[in-house]
Amino acid sequence: MSPERYQRIRDVLEKRQTDLTVCLENVHKPHNVSAIVRTCDAVGIHRVHTVWEKKYQFRRGTAMGSQQWVRQTNHDGINDAMAELKGQGMQVLVTHLSDTAVDFRDVDYTKPTAILFGQEKYGATDEAKALADQDIVIPMMGMVQSLNVSVAAALVLYEAQRQRTIAGMYNTQQLPEEECQALAFQNGYPRLYKLCQRKGLPLPAINAIGEVDADDSWWREMQITKAEADALEAG
């Protein structure tokens, strides 16, 4: 990995927002899930949460094309998801038209926030809506009453990004350094990462210029020299 590539990765990871996330409840169409996750990556979200029925289980490489940059946690049910999010001190917002709903732009997204998006056709379940802290709406001036879920997610998330940018929240690293190191190794040295996982070895550190910083015993366990590793990653 070149120093320039490493610096690009570090710049991205240092802006990750660990207290901003989305929860997808049975959003199952691959193009919608993929679009939402790409938006999450673009606004600096580190982890998304999902609640899927068995038939909509995560399809690797299709449903979440940005999975190497955005972590994913799947929950068995909406109660489990809500318990985890609220346990992290997050306000949970749900896109739902109700008497108590507020314009999505009137919410304070500088607070720890999780935004719940429901299934494409029916929206969030009654159970999910009951557990959420606040209903939010995107004002509609036309004949249609709702937007595509991935479009709605993009609008809400970019409002969150706007507020957090003004508040300077992208200027301070939130992601633990250990996680930054792990992601830098995984994405900067993908072949070595797979070999390391296969052998059950701890992930090495990455130094300031993007090189693997491991001792001789780690390389011996990998059964590969540093020169061979450089050649492997170079293709």
50 is in an annotated binding site: no
Cβ contacts of residue 75 below 8 Å, gap of 6+? 49, 50, 51, 81, 84
201 is in an annotated binding site: no
The Cα–Cα gap between 86 and 81 comes to 9
H or E element at residue 222: helix 216-222
Choose among 57, 73, 137, 59: nearest CA to 99: 137
Buried b or exposed e, range 15-26, using 16+ CB within 10 angstroms: bbbbbbbbbbbb
195 is in an annotated binding site: no
- Amino acid at position 181, single letter: Q
Which residues are documented as binding site?
Answer: 95, 138, 147
Which residues are documented as binding site for S-adenosyl-L-methionine?
Answer: 95, 138, 147
